[in-house]
Structure 1
Amino acid sequence: MIAADLAGLAHTGLHAVPLYVLLHIPAFRDTLALHAPEASTGMEAVEWQGLADVTDTRNVTAFHAASSPATLLKARRAVVPFRGRGELLTQLRAWAGLPGLGAWLIHGPGGEGKTRLAHHFANLLADQDRWAVLWLRPDAPAGSLDVVASAAAPALIVVDYAENRTAQLTDLCQTLARHGIGTGAGTPVKVLMLARTAGDWWQTLQPKTPAVEELLDGTPDTHLNVLESEPGNRLDAYREAALSFAGQLPYVQGWQHHDWPALAHQLTDSTSAAAMEQAGMSTALTLHMTALADLLDAVQPSDAASSPGPARDVEDRLLRHERRYWEHSAVARALHPALTMDTLTNALAAAFLLGAPDHQQADRLLAKVPGLSDQSEDRRSSVHRWITGLYPPAADGVWDSLQPDRLAERFTGRHLLAHPHLPDRILLGATEAQALQLLTVSTRAATHPPLRRPLSPLLTELCLRPPDTLVTAAIEVATQTETPTPLLQALIRITDAPDTTLDTLRQLSDRFPHTSHNLAEPAAHLAQRPLPRPGLHRSRHVPAQARQRPEQPLHPAGGAGAA
C-alpha cells in the first residue's frame, strides 16, 4: 500500500493506480529498490495464486529473519550471489524469446544448483522482461490448470521435482493444447522442468498422449555440470559465500551476538585453495554448506558427546547445529525434558519421511510414533505445533521439511539406520502418497556416500516387510530415481519368492509400466515365474518388456526402455 496526499483534493478524493502502471515507471522501480531492496519488481498473476507453490515465491528473501542457520541455504533466499552458468543462461534467454509454447528439462544430482538457476532465470524474466512466473504447486488439481492458459503476458511455468510429477505434467500439456496454445506462434508460454535424472520417467512421459508428445518433441535436455571445476574458482566462491552468510547470520534467532564479518574474514584469510580440493567441493551447495558450517563451528564447535551419530562431513556438521535448534525450541515449549529428544526426533523423522496432507493425517501420524503413542492428545498436539514452529508450512500446509533437501536426506537416512523399525510403526495405515514420499526420500538418502552401503540393504528389506505397503510404491519410485538398485532387488525377491500370492503378482504386474529400462530385470523375473495356478494368461499380467522370446534383448538399441 502506497499513500500520497495529492494537492487539490482536500482529502476528498481517492485515486487507485494499477500496480502494473507503476512498475512500468523506471523512477518508481528505482525508488522501490532503494527503500525496499528485499521487494521484487516483478509481477505475479493474482489468478495463479491457487496454483503457486508459495514455498518458492520470490517474496521470501535474505532480508527476512530466519529461524535456523540452515534456512539461509534455501535457494529462494539467494543469500550468496548467483555466479556462473552464463552460457546456459544465454541459451535459456534465447529459448524464452521464441514465440509460443516451449519446454526445457534441466537435470542433475541434488546440490548442483538446479533450483537456484531456475530462480535466477525466472527473476531475470520477471524483472527485466515483465514476464509472469508460476512455480506450480505439486498438488494443483488438473481442473484448476485452465487459468494458466489464459496468460496475457509471457509466462514461465516452473515444475520442480518433475520426475515425481509426470501425471501433473501430462495434465498441464493437455490443458495448454486444449486452449490452442502451440509451438511457433503467439505469446510465449514456457515450461521449465527440474529433475534429478532424465531416466525412465522422461522416456515414458514423452509418448504418453499426443498433446504431451507434441509439446515435448525436441525439448532440450540439459545435464547440469559442476559449477566450480577449478580449486582457485572454488576459493573465490567460498570467500563470497562466507562473507554473504556473515551478513545474514545476525538475522538468525539465537545467533545475533557474534562479530560475523570479522569471523568470516579470519576464515577466508586462513583458507587455501588446497582446502577446496576435497570431494564434493565443486558442487555449489557443498561449497556453501562448508562456508556456513565453518562460521558456525567457529563460535559453537560441534560436540560429538552432545549429539548422536558421526560427523564426518558438512551435512552432519550442520545437522549438529540444527539439533541444537530443535532442542532449544523443545525446551522453550516445555516439551523437553518431559519428552526425550529421541522421541522428538522420531516425530521429526516421521514428518519428513511421510508428510501429511492435512492436520488430521498429521495427528494420526504422530500417534504412531514411538514414545508418543501413549501420550495424551494434548501432548501430541504440542509436538505437532513444535514441528510446525520449526518448519512453518506454506499457506494451507501442515509443516514444511528441513531444507535444503540434502540435509533432510542425511537426517532421515541416519535416523533410519539408528531406528530401522520406525517405518514398521509409521507406515501402518499410510496413504499411497506417504509411501511414495518415504521411498523417494530414502532412496535419495542412499545416494549419500556415507549412507550408501548400510542404507541400501535396509531399503530392500523395508520393501519386503509386511503389510506390503511399499511394494507398489517401489515400482513407481524405481523409474524416478538415479539409484534404483535397492528397490529392484526387493521387486526381484518378491517375484521369486515361492510364497508370493497370486494377488500380489497381479498387483505388481498391473503397476509395471508398458516399457521401462530400470524395471526390465524384475519384469523378466515376473515373466519367468511359474504360474501359481492353471488357466492364468500371462500375457494379461506381464509387462511388454518381459514378454519376449529368450533370444530377444530386454532393451534393444532402439531406445531406453523400448524393450
Structure 2
Amino acid sequence: MIVRAEGGFAYGVIGADIHVFGDGTPLYLLELWRVPRTPEPDWLLESPSRMLNARYEVADFTGREEDLAELHQWRDSRPRRAARWLYGPGGQGKTRLAAEFASRSADQGWTVVTAAHGPGTVHPPPGSQDLRLRHARGVLLIVDYADRWPLTHLSWLFSNALLHKPDMPTRILLLARTGDSWPGVRATLANHEASTSTHELAPLSSDGSAQRAEMYDAARSSFAAFYGIADPSDIPPPASLDHEDFGLTLAVHMAALVAVDARATGSRPPSDMAGLTVYLLDREHLHWARLHGDGTHELNPAERTYRTSPQVMNQVVFAAALTGAVPAPTGVAMLRDLGLELDAPQILTDHGVCYPPANPTIPTVLEPLYPDRLAEDFLALTLPGHTADYPAAPWAPATAKTVLTAETAETAHTARTWGPTGNAPTVGEAAPPPYLSRAIPTLTAAAERWPHVGSDYLYPLLKQHPQLAVQAGNAALFALAMQESADTDALEAIERLLPHGPHADLAQGIAAITYRVIYQRIERTDDLRLNAMYRTQLAERLHYAGFHELAADMAHASVEIWRRLADDEPFINASLLASSLNWYSTYLAKLGQREEALQTAEEAVALNRRLIDGDHTTSHDEQTLGDALGNLATRLSEVGRGAEALAAAEEAAAIRDRLGAAGVHFYVSENARDQLNLGARLADQGRTEEALAAIEKAVIGFRKVVEVNPAAHTFELATALNNYGSHLLEVDRLADALAAAEESVTLWRQLVLKSSLAHDQGLAMALFNLGTCKVAAGHQAEAYAATDESAKLYRKLAARNPAANDESLATVLGRLTTLLQSEERYAEALPITTDRVAVCRRLVAADPAAYEAGLAHALFEQSMMLSECNRELQARFAVEEAVDIHRRLAGADPAAHLPRLAQALYALSASKYDMHDDMSEVLNILSESMVIYQHLATADPETFADTAREVRATFAELLPEPQGL
C-alpha cells in the first residue's frame, strides 16, 4: 500500500474506509487498540493525578465485574451487528471498563479498533493502520465521547466498510455521559440492521456491599507500588466510603491516591471530596513550580529548557481544560489572544512536558488535565466565586471568555465543523472555535457541581454570545436544556438563534432547548394567543426531531386553544386556527392516522374558504387557502379518493396562478411544490403525460432552489425526482427513468446520513421505485438488491410506526416475492410471503374495507410458495381463505374482484387435485373458475382469453371418460 501526502496529511487504512472533509482531512481516525504503556514511575510521581488517567491503567481493574460480564454477554450474543450505548456521569469508570473489555476481547481473538473524532481538533498520524480482519473472531469498535460527535459524523462512521464485512460479527461500543443523544443515534444504526441496546453504569453500591472497599483496596495497592510502599494495608480511606460522593469510581480512586500520597509525603489527607480535589490540584501547582525552578531541566539537552512560570502555566492549563487537544496553529493563535508574556510556541512546548499528547503520533497541543472530572473541578476552582480552600485567579473570567469567543486563525480547520462536504461558513460570518463542542459541555458539567460557574460565568456569557451554544452542537444544547439551574434568559437567547426547519445534527438539541423554554413561557403567560403560538412552535421542532407523537399532542393542544379564541374573536383568530389545523393534519398523517388527518385538513380548508368569502379578503388569505388545499389533496390521495385529490390540487394551482398574474410574488419552491402535488394527483387519475409535465416543472424549480439552499430543499428535489422517474417509466422513457431514480436514491442516501429519523421513508420509497426501473431494464439482480434494501427500511419504519408504514411494507414484500418467484427461489420467497400476510392482517384489523383484497392476494401468493415447497396442506388452507375473501368481495363489486376470485379458484382446484380430494369437488371448483374466466374473456379477450382456454382445457382433461352401456 502507498500512502501519499495530500495537503500535508498522510494517513491510510487497510481494510476500512477513510471519510474526509473537502480539504482531505479525515472526519475521524481509526486505530487498532493497543495495550497501554505504563509510564515510568518517576514521571507519574511528578504529578500524582497522572495515575488517575484511565489510559495508563495504573489501578488494577476491580469492582465492575458484573458490568464487564454483561458486556461480554452482549458481545457474544447472536446478532451479527450490534451497538451498545454505555453511559454514566464523568468519573463513573466508563473508559476504564471499556479498556478492560477491549483488552480481554483482543486476548480472545477480536480485532479491537478505536475511533477518535477528528474535525478541527486533531490531525491524522502518519503512516497507516492495517485493519484487515484476517482470522479475527469479530470486530469491536470503541467510540469515546460519542455524545459529542455530530450525528452526521457518526452516520459516516457507521457506514465504514470495516463494520460491514460479510459473516463477520461486529460490535460498536459507544461511551457517553448521558442517554440524551441515543434516540437519534439508534435510529441511524437501524439503517445498518444493527441490534441496539443501552447500559447505564450505575453508582458503586453503598448498601453494605464490599464493592467500594474492594475498589479502594485494589487502587491503594496499585498506587502504593509506585511510591515504594510495600504494605499499604494500614492506610485507611481519608473519609467514609459510604458517603454519596464515593459512588463514582474516580472518587474512590482519588481517595486511594490521596491517602497513599499523603502517607508518602507525611501530609494529612483531607476528609471530603472537595478537599481531595484541592489536594491533587496543589500537587499540579507544585510540579509546575519545580519544573520552572529547576534551571537544569531540559527537554533535550542540546536544544532548550523549560521556561514557563507556574502562573502562566496555570492559565494555560485552564485554557486547555476548555479546548482539549488542538492543532498547533490553533493553540498558538489562542495563546497570543490571551496576551501571555512568552512566545506561544515556547509555552506550548513547556505545556507538552507537563501534559504530553495522548497519542504521540498525532501532533497536537494543549492536552487537557485528566481525568475530565478533575479538569472540570479545576475550572470551577480557578474561577472566583467558590468558598473552597483554593486560590481563584482574577484572570480566569477573561481567559474563559477569550477562549470561547476567539475567532480561529485557521479557516481550513474551522470550516470542518460545518460538515463533511468541506463547505466553509458564509462569507463575512465568523467561524467558531473548533473546540466549542468540548468547552460548553465541560463548563456545563462543572456548573452542576459548582453553581457559581453557571450563575457568574457560563450563563452571562451565553446571554451575550448565545451563538456559542448553537455552534457547540447537539450535546451542548442537550446538557444546557437538562440542567435544572440553567438561566432562563440564557436559554431564551439561545432559543432565538436556533435554526428553523429540519437540522440533522441539532434536531434533538433544538427540541430539548425549545421544550424547556416554551414551557417556561407558557407558565409565565396568561395570554391564550401566546400560549397557542408557543405550542405551535414547539410542535414543529418536536416533529423535525422525530418526536411525532409529542408533536401531534402539542399541536392538538394548540388547535383547541385557537378554537376557543376563534369563537370569541373570529376576525382576529380564525386564520390562525386554520393554519394550526393544517399543521396538525400533517402530524397526524405522519403517525398513520389518515382519516383523522383528512378530517382535520378538510376543516382547515372549510375555515379558509369562509375567510375568503369575508369582506376583508387579502392575497395572504387566498395563499393560505391554496396551501390548505395542497395539504388536503395529499390527505385525500392517502385514503384513495383520487378524483377529489386531483380537484383540490388543481384548485390550489389555480389560486397560485391567479395570484401570480395579479403580481403577488411567490418563491420558486412554492410553485415547485404546487406542481409536484398536482403531478402526483394527475398520475393517480391515469393522466400520465400531464403528470409528467407538471413534475418536470417541479424538478426544474427544485434544482434552482437547491443551488441556493441545499439544506432546505434537497429532500424536495429527491422527492420530485422519485416521482419523475416513475412517470418516465410509464411513458417508456426507460433511460431517463433510470437516471432520475438513481439520482433520487443518491440524494436520499445523503439525507439519511444526516437524519435517518426524517428521511428513511423517502429512501425506502426511492429504492422501491429504482427496483421497478431495474426490472424494466432487465437488471434482475440490481432490482432485487434495491427492493430488498427498501424492504429492510420499511420493516424498521413499520416497527416504529406500523400505521404509517405497513401498507408500503406489504407492497414491497409483494414485489420481493415476485422477483424471487421469477427465479424459482421459492424457499427464499416463502418467509417473505408469510411476513406479507402478517402485515396485511394488521392492516385489515385497522380497516377491513380498504385492505381485505390485499390480504386475499397475499394469501394466494403464500399458497403458491407453500405448494412449491411441498407444504401442500398449508397451501390449501391459505388459498381457501383467499377464495372466501375474494368471493365475499366479488359479491359486492364483481368488476373489481372477479378476476382474483377466478385465479384463486383455479389454484384451489389444483391444490385439491394434488391432495387427491374428491374429484367432484375439484371439478365443481374448477367449473366455477372456468365460468368466471369465460365471462371475463367475453368482455376483455385480450387480457383473459388465453387463461380462459387454459382453464377450459384443464376441465376437459379432468372430466371422467363417459361410461358405456
Establish whether residue 109 from structure 1 lines up as the match of residue 94 from structure 2.
Answer: no
Alpha carbons 1:62, 1:248 under 8 Å: kept? no
Q: Are residue 388 (structure 1) and residue 352 (structure 2) matched? A: yes
Shift, 1:425, TM fit: 2.2
Judge conservation of contact 1:99–1:187 (CA < 8 Å) in 2. Answer: no
Q: Counterparts of 1:104-503 in structure 2 under 5 Å?
A: 104-127=84-107, 129-139=108-118, 151-152=133-134, 153=136, 154-165=138-149, 166-176=151-161, 180-181=164-165, 186-199=167-180, 201-208=181-188, 212-215=189-192, 218-229=195-206, 230=208, 232-249=210-227, 259-262=228-231, 264-268=232-236, 275-300=240-265, 312-332=274-294, 341-355=310-324, 357-370=326-339, 372=340, 375-377=341-343, 380-393=344-357, 394=359, 395-396=361-362, 397-417=364-384, 418=392, 419-426=396-403, 427-430=405-408, 431-448=432-449, 451-452=450-451, 454-466=453-465, 468-473=467-472, 476-479=475-478, 483-485=482-484, 489-494=488-493
Q: Deviations over 1:118-156 (max 9, x none)?
A: 1111111111x2211111111189xx9x98985332211
Task: Compare relative contact order (CA 8 Å, sep 6+) and give the higher one, 1 or 2.
Answer: 1
Check 1:438–1:333 CA distance in 2 against 1; reply closer, same or farther (3 A cut): farther
SS at match of 1:106: strand
| Corresponding residue SS for 1:58 | coil
Query: Corresponding residue for 1:253?
Result: none
Partner Cα separation in structure 2 for residue 365 and residue 89 of structure 1: 41
* Partner Cα separation in structure 2 for residue 68 and residue 54 of structure 1: 28
Please give the secondary structure, in 2, of the residue aligned with 1:551. helix
1:551 is matched with which residue?
A: 557
Worse-matched range after superposition: 85-94 or 512-521: 512-521
Q: Is the 8 A contact 1:463 1:487 kept in 2?
A: no
Structure 1, residues 81-115: CA drift from partner, whole Å, max 9, x if none? 21233333333223322362211111111112111
Is 2:92–2:248's contact at 8 Å kept on the other side of the alignment?
A: yes
- Counterpart contact for 1:163–1:197, Cα < 8 Å: yes
| Distance in 1 separating the partners of 2:284 and 2:452 | 25
Q: Report the TM-score when normalising by structure 2.
A: 0.43
CA RMSD of aligned residues (A): 4.5
1:150–1:338 CA distance, 2 compared to 1 (3 A): closer
% identical aligned pairs: 22
Aligned residue identity for 1:196: R
Give structure 2 stretches of 5+ with no counterpart. Answer: 1-12, 19-25, 298-304, 385-391, 409-431, 528-535, 544-550, 560-583, 592-756, 759-799, 801-965
Displacement of 1:412: 1.6
Change (3 A) 1:297 1:87: closer
Q: Distance in 2 between matches of 1:485 and 1:54?
A: 39
Distance 2:378 2:32 in 1: 21
Distance change (3 Å), C-alpha of 1:480 and 1:150: farther
TM-score (norm 1): 0.70
Amino acid at match of 1:151: L
Q: State yes or no: 1:76 paired with 2:55.
A: yes
1:399-451 deviations in whole A, cap 9, x for unaligned?
A: 42211111111112222344223222222214342222210211122233xx1
Structure 1 unmatched runs, 5+:
1-44, 250-258, 305-309, 531-537
Equivalent-residue separation in structure 2 for 1:79 and 1:217 (angstroms): 35
Distance apart, 1:77 and its partner CA: 2.5
Q: What is the deviation of 1:288?
A: 1.0
Q: Give the deviation of 1:117 after TM superposition.
A: 1.1
- Give SS of 1:280's match: helix
Bigger Cα Rg: 2
Deviations 1:505-540 (A, max 9, x none): 65899685167663233563899999xxxxxxx989
Partner of 2:513: 519
Change (3 A) 1:516 1:438: closer
Say if 2:515 and 2:538, in contact at 8 Å, map to a contact too: no
Tell me if the contact between 1:149 and 1:176 (Cα under 8 Å) persists in the aligned partners.
Answer: no
Q: Aligned partner of 1:381: which letter?
A: P
More deviation, 391-400/515-524: 515-524
SS across alignment from 1:221 = strand
Aligned residue type for 1:159: V
Query: Residue by residue, what CA displacement relative to the aligned partner does 1:161-207 show, whole Å, maximum 9, x if unpaired?
Result: 11112333211222349x854xxx711111111111111x1122233
Tell me the matched-pair count: 467
Q: Deviations over 1:300-347 (max 9, x none)?
A: 46799xxxxx98332222111122112222333699998653333112
Q: Is the helix fraction higher in 1 or 2?
A: 2
Report the CA distance shift for 1:246/1:540 in structure 2 as closer, same or farther (over 3 A): closer
Quick check: 1:196–1:481 contact (8 Å CA) kept in 2?
no
Closer, same or farther in 2 for the Cα pair 1:105/1:540, shift >3 Å? closer
SS of structure 1 residue aligned to 2:71: helix
Structure 1 position 470, deviation (Å): 4.2
Q: 1:464·1:471 contact (CA, 8 Å) conserved in 2? A: no
Counterpart contact for 1:472–1:507, Cα < 8 Å: no
> How many angstroms does 1:392 deviate by?
0.8
Could you tell me whether the CA contact under 8 Å between 1:73 and 1:404 is conserved in 2? yes
